[in-house]
Structure 1
């Protein structure tokens, strides 16, 4: 539901919140890859939002740093 909201209403002030909470949902489900992508998108698409600030904090978690390294390796392997 959060992903759908952010796609349907990208200009809405709540779109950043929707991306952050989507990331939280994926993180709680132990899907670090998708959580990482939602947090990253939130910080890039809505850099001045409070949700982006929280997303940057989540990206500093050990599991997100590991996911960053995995994403970087996958780009290098292409």
Structure 2
């Protein structure tokens, strides 16, 4: 009984399989390159950001120093 949806292959099944595998490998390679480039860009952004932002421990210490100075200031005003 013939298929209701006739399909004609112009290449032997083995050749078709090889063509699909090659196409898949090319697409996979292109995706790997794109992701690698994207990853390198993100790493560069992170490195640039970490170089331009102050160290967290320095920031915390500075905040504590400012808070301490604010707390000490009223005491100095009372003494004078």
Q: TM-score, normalised by structure 2?
A: 0.24
Greater RCO structure (CA 8 Å; 6+ sep): 1
Bigger radius of gyration among the two: 2
